[in-house]
Amino acid sequence: MSDEHSKTRWHLLLGTLLEYLLPPVGIQVSIEPPVMSDPPKADIILLRRDTEQWTPEQKARLSDGIRDTNASHILLEFKYTESITVDALQQILGYEFFYRKSQNLKPEQLACFLISAKKPQAATLNKFDYQATEQQGIYQSSNLLLQKIPLISLNELPNNTHNAWLRCFASKQAEKKRAFQCVEPEAIGQTSLKLYWFMSGLLKLSLHTVEEDTMKIEITPEDVLKYAELLEEVGWDPIIEQRLMKLDAKYLLKSLSVKQRLEGLDAKQRLEGLDAKQRLEGLDAKQRLEGLDAKQRLEGLDAKQRLEGLAPDEVFNQFDSDMLEAYLQKIKQDKKH
């Protein structure tokens, strides 16, 4: 089934993952960017590097082929199903030409890649003069027009950490599973909580949804995030679950509000680790004494502190006549001395 017959716009899902993953390391991501001064949006993904050269942090998140180019602007066209046709190639060539002209870029400043979730058939490769390169999963055409459009086959890319992000969109279930197992959980946690949940939802969608059913419905990036809410109902592969959940708690908590962090905790758990001063901070006198009986409220106070603020009649009303007489006698004795 071709991408044209699929309701799911797979480049939006791939673009959303890159939108969460790459900006923290200085790579701008645009989904469906304009390629002319007043054009319709193109179904491609644009990456723009903020640095002169790729940094180690950037290359750690980019696949083979992309990380090997010196271009600062990169256009990606993603085909989830086998649909490498004349129209598809003419389309990306048009994007390359019009975008380069609209941005006044030199040819070496812009690179374009056609990404295929499936391994291209031999007949397709021969038709467009694509041959395998020394890099596994990367094809280069000898055709004069297509020389500038390398082809990346996600099912064939080596299974390592920098290829894993794109390989999560490979068409073969076994390759997807290996890709998720290879994703660095620390990179997810250090980037954003949204990336964590997006990867969780993508995992559920990829490994627990029949591909043909996926083709019949439209799935948006928002839908992928919603899938993450159903994780407890999904029979996750324990190895993958361990890798995705192997995150320092501080990475998951940093994006939550105070209310979200405390939700579900009882009073004892909320106060755990706080000293007495911290527990009472922000409370007025009435709130601090609430729930204490008279004895507890007066505990630790000397006589003067206990009587402070009381009128004379309020003090004397607490004594009977014998106690009052004894108290007055004591005052007289104290004055003599």
Q: What is the pLDDT of residue 166?
A: 93
Cα angle 79-81-86, degrees, rounded to a multiple of 5: 60
Checking if the pLDDT of 123 tops 70, the result is yes
Q: Which of 9-13, 35-39, 83-87, 266-270 has the highest mean pLDDT?
A: 83-87
Q: What is the pLDDT of residue 2?
A: 43
Please indicate, yes or no, if residue 231 is contained in any of the structural domains.
yes
Token pair belonging to 112: 């374009």
Residue 11 confidence class, pLDDT cut points 50, 70, 90: confident
What long-range pairs does 47-51 form, CB within 8 A, spacing at least 24? 47/18, 47/22, 47/73, 47/74, 47/76, 48/72, 48/73, 48/74, 49/73, 50/26, 51/26
- Read off the pLDDT of residues 283-333 as tens digits, 9 standing for 90 and up: 776 766 676 776 766 676 666 666 666 666 656 666 556 666 666 676 677
Please indicate, yes or no, if residue 271 is contained in any of the structural domains.
no
Which of 142, 139, 182, 140 lies closest to 158, judged by CA? 182
Please indicate, yes or no, if residue 260 is contained in any of the structural domains.
no
Q: What is the pLDDT of residue 236?
A: 41
Q: What is the pLDDT of residue 139?
A: 97
Mean pLDDT of all residues belonging to the chain: 75
Count of domains in the chain?
1
Please indicate, yes or no, if residue 223 is contained in any of the structural domains.
yes
Q: What is the pLDDT of residue 319?
A: 58
- The stretch 142-171 carries a mean pLDDT of 93
**Among 16-25, 62-71, 147-156, 291-300, whose mean pLDDT is lowest?**
291-300
Strands 45-49 and 27-31: antiparallel
Please indicate, yes or no, if residue 226 is contained in any of the structural domains.
yes
* CA 79 to chain CA mean position, Å: 24
Please indicate, yes or no, if residue 93 is contained in any of the structural domains.
yes
d(CA 109, CA 173): 36
Please indicate, yes or no, if residue 183 is contained in any of the structural domains.
yes
Please indicate, yes or no, if residue 328 is contained in any of the structural domains.
no
Cα angle 96-12-128, degrees, rounded to a multiple of 5: 40
Checking if the pLDDT of 211 tops 50, the result is no
Domain housing 235: 3-253
d(CA 116, CA 42): 17
Checking if the pLDDT of 247 tops 50, the result is no
Checking if the pLDDT of 258 tops 70, the result is no
